[in-house]
Structure 1
């Protein structure tokens, strides 16, 4: 598949703008790492504190150059504030699949509809521009808030990978897998999500 990301890719609607994450975006986002530790409860990577957060951003940007990930910074147009980050990852162009995740927002952006707008833009791009056949989502199986959010946009629960990765504290986690297939996007998920954005 001959797809290449535009390194200046912008996805936006009336309420949200997503642009490629850059190293200097640390200054826009680091306060979430330093002051809102609750949002990182289920993070699989160390993110709390400037040093950890800087490495987190650096790795995301580095992986974009390898075409295995494409991280975005999220800007809320309603409040004119940077709200968080999200990304495509595990991009497998030959298999026409990718994962959508590493999504987080500052606490004041939870429940505002911002996430649904972001997901609509990202899923539209994945299926309609990239030609993906499948978009996968994963989460810690204990992260009920995240799981509910994914189900609410129309994801199908596929199952749980038992003890498939380590938590930061060395314990192991179960990961739930959800997905949307291309035909589901056009027939069911896109119309459903469009109504939720009105």
Structure 2
């Protein structure tokens, strides 16, 4: 391993909490909550995401656990009610170059366009850069998922490019994948902006 990345720590299961949102390692005990979250808006019908149908949730969770250590999946919990409101992951973790990506992210419809996504990203990015020692964090999304692209850009991530004919969608079509990233040196400004966004919406 290059000495430059010797300080990077492979992500281990951890619980993170801020502003009434808790991220905890995804496990089988979250299955019923995750089914309810996916059913809020029937999110599996969205063409440009990969939200599991209710009968697929147990396999979805098993696969996420099976992918460790290259993926670490979290259940997103509303602290006030204890309800599972979605999920997110570190994935494509490459310790040799201190790189990881954030993805597999979705929330119940009622929690979309709230402080939840910004809070989750602040938690995950803070942990990635300040605890794990990541050199770079990446994102990828469907070329037609314009809402996701806008959300990633609001974080301060830079668009790296498009991988054409890259991955299958659930409907059998092949998507282009839009790639984004944020380097460690860009994190302080991005962190300040995320905190500003939350404060503007009354979250402190």
Match of 2:76 in 1: 74
1:39, distance to aligned residue in structure 2 (A): 5.5
CA distance in 2: counterparts of 1:130 and 1:119, whole angstroms: 15
1:190, distance to aligned residue in structure 2 (A): 1.0
| 8 Å contact from structure 2 (residues 10, 95) kept in 1 | no
CA distance in 2: counterparts of 1:71 and 1:136, whole angstroms: 16
Residue deviations 1:89-140 (CA, integer Å, cap 9, x gap): 0000111001100000000001111000000000000011111111000000
CA distance in 2: counterparts of 1:57 and 1:40, whole angstroms: 19
Match of 2:202 in 1: none
Whether 1:60 aligns to 2:61 is no
CA distance in 2: counterparts of 1:165 and 1:143, whole angstroms: 14
Match of 2:191 in 1: 190
2:31 to 26, 30, 35: 26
CA RMSD after TM alignment: 1.7
Match of 1:117 in 2: 119
Alpha-carbon distance change, 38 to 82 in structure 1, aligned in 2, over 3 angstroms: closer
1:84, distance to aligned residue in structure 2 (A): 0.3
CA distance in 2: counterparts of 1:35 and 1:116, whole angstroms: 20
1:155, distance to aligned residue in structure 2 (A): 1.1
Kindly tell me the number of residue pairs found equivalent between the two proteins: 192
1:130 to 129, 132, 135: 132
CA distance in 2: counterparts of 1:172 and 1:6, whole angstroms: 33
Paired residues for 1:141-160 under 5 Å: 141-160=143-162
| 8 Å contact from structure 2 (residues 40, 110) kept in 1 | no
1:38, distance to aligned residue in structure 2 (A): 3.3
2:9 to 3, 7, 12: 3
| 8 Å contact from structure 1 (residues 39, 104) kept in 2 | no
Relative to the length of structure 2, the TM-score reads 0.88
| 8 Å contact from structure 2 (residues 88, 106) kept in 1 | yes
| 8 Å contact from structure 2 (residues 99, 137) kept in 1 | yes
Residue deviations 1:15-37 (CA, integer Å, cap 9, x gap): 21101111121011112334532
Q: Which runs of 5+ in 1 are unaligned?
A: none
Report SS of the residue matched to 1:132. Answer: coil
Q: Which runs of 5+ in 2 are unaligned?
A: 1-5, 200-204
